[in-house]
């Protein structure tokens, strides 16, 4: 039997890389797409190209039944229509193809006052960045209405996972781990939604394998690990090989740094996501994945932090 084929746009990104590993493990023929193959995966092909060029995307996705959109701009480069333009190029490349596009969503689309986020909940973004994400999902829905493609959105909380770098978990909470300090992002009693990347990748596989039974435009919410900031701190300390002191995130310092650093300024604008407990819920997805799906929280945290406590290799 021929393998199902998927192209991962943005294979070097957090979720793109995790999705590629998950689909390869499930027996799919996986091809990555990007400017370079920075993190090669055994058994996964690669096509070099520019995500801003429609022809490059067309060539990379030509033989695939499913396309995963793991493309994302730097955090401070979303404005002036650039994020929408990037997605528009992907949609133009897939026009009239009938392919299935998998799209990772986030919770920026919702208001700080929203506590339980279901796929049916009305979207009222709190920030300009959230409004961009709403517009992108509207673009995706219009593409399905035109009959061009099928779109499956899987929304999740903040990413963490083994050997993952450049996200909130790594660059904020663990930024001073070498000095024995662990930062909590908000009040320790507040809940927060986390998505363990290997589990999220596997959830995308499950949905792709059921795509023929799903709607032309379908949204799902991945609950992941919804835990308090205190529980996350405790789990990291339990998995640590050295003593750690838990300290608050220095938001005031970040705000001052943001005066001259656009990236930091944009990060600070999203603080409300930490100060407000927003839980993802979707019984329909639970029924698809099964009650035993996912990695136990403590084990997931342990696998995600081992890299920070590994002893450096000794010279021969």
pLDDT tens track for 163-195: 988 888 998 899 999 999 999 999 999 999 999
Taking only the tens place, the pLDDT of each residue in 191-224 is: 999 999 999 999 999 999 999 999 999 999 999 9
> CA-CA distances (angstroms) from residue 84 to 74, 200, 210?
14, 24, 28
Q: Which pLDDT band, with edges at 50, 70 and 90, does 316 fall under?
A: very low
Q: Give all strands (DSSP E) within 148-201, no chain letters.
A: 150-155, 158-160, 181-184, 191-196
Number of H helices, E strands in the chain: 12, 14
C-beta atoms surrounding 312 within 10 Å: 5
pLDDT at residue 137 above 60? Answer: yes
d(CA 235, CA 217): 37
Positive or negative torsion for Cα 38, 84, 102, 300 = positive
pLDDT at residue 250 above 60? Answer: yes
Q: Which pLDDT value is given to residue 313?
A: 40
pLDDT at residue 260 above 90? Answer: no
d(CA 316, CA 308): 22
Positive or negative torsion for Cα 146, 107, 163, 170 = positive
- In the structure encoding, which two tokens stand for residue 16, read together? 């793109």
> Which residues fall within 8 angstroms of residue 283, CB to CB, at 6 or more apart?
none
pTM of the predicted model as reported, rounded to 2 decimal places? 0.96
Helix axes 297-309, 229-239, angle to 10 degrees: 60
C-beta atoms surrounding 162 within 10 Å: 15
d(CA 13, CA 225): 21
Longest dimension (CA), the chain: 62
> CA-CA distances (angstroms) from residue 1 to 4, 20, 25, 103?
9, 21, 17, 27
- In the structure encoding, which two tokens stand for residue 250, read together? 């220095």
| Domain annotation for the chain: domains and CATH numbers | 5-160+195-224 (3.40.50.720), 168-190+226-277+292-308 (no CATH)
d(CA 239, CA 296): 14
C-beta atoms surrounding 85 within 10 Å: 11
Taking only the tens place, the pLDDT of each residue in 78-130 is: 989 999 999 999 999 999 999 999 999 999 999 999 999 999 999 999 999 99
Q: Which pLDDT value is given to residue 59?
A: 98
Question: For the residues 4-20, what does the mean pLDDT come to?
Answer: 97
312: DSSP letter:
P
């Amino acid at each position: 039997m021929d393998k199902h084929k998927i192209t991962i746009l943005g294979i070097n990104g957090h979720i793109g890389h995790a999705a590629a590993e998950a689909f390869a493990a499930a027996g799919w023929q996986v091809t990555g797409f990007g400017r370079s193959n920075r993190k090669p995966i055994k058994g996964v092909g690669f096509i070099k190209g520019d995500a801003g060029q429609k022809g490059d995307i067309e060539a990379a996705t030509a033989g695939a039944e499913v396309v995963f959109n793991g493309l994302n701009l730097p955090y401070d480069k979303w404005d002036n229509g650039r994020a929408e333009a990037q997605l528009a190029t992907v949609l133009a490349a897939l026009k009239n193809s009938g392919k299935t596009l998998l799209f990772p969503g986030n919770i920026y689309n919702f208001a700080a006052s929203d506590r339980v986020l279901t796929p049916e909940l009305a979207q009222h973004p709190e920030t300009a960045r959230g409004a961009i994400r709403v517009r992108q999902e509207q673009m995706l829905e219009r593409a399905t209405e035109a009959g061009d493609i099928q779109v499956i959105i899987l929304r999740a909380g903040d990413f963490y996972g083994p050997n993952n770098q450049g996200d909130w978990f790594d660059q904020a909470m663990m930024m001073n781990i070498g000095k024995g300090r662990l930062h909590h992002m908000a009040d320790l009693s507040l809940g927060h939604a986390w998505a363990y990347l290997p589990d999220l990748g596997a959830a995308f596989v499950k949905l792709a394998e059921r795509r023929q039974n799903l709607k032309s435009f379908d949204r799902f919410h991945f609950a992941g690990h919804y835990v308090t900031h205190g529980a996350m701190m405790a789990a990291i300390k339990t998995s640590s090989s050295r003593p750690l002191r838990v300290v608050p995130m220095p938001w005031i310092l970040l705000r001052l740094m943001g005066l001259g650093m656009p990236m930091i300024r944009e990060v600070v604008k999203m603080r409300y996501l930490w100060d407000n407990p927003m839980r993802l819920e979707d019984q329909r997805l639970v029924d698809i994945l099964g009650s035993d799906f996912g990695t136990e929280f403590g084990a997931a945290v342990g696998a995600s932090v081992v890299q920070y406590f590994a002893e450096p290799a000794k010279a021969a």
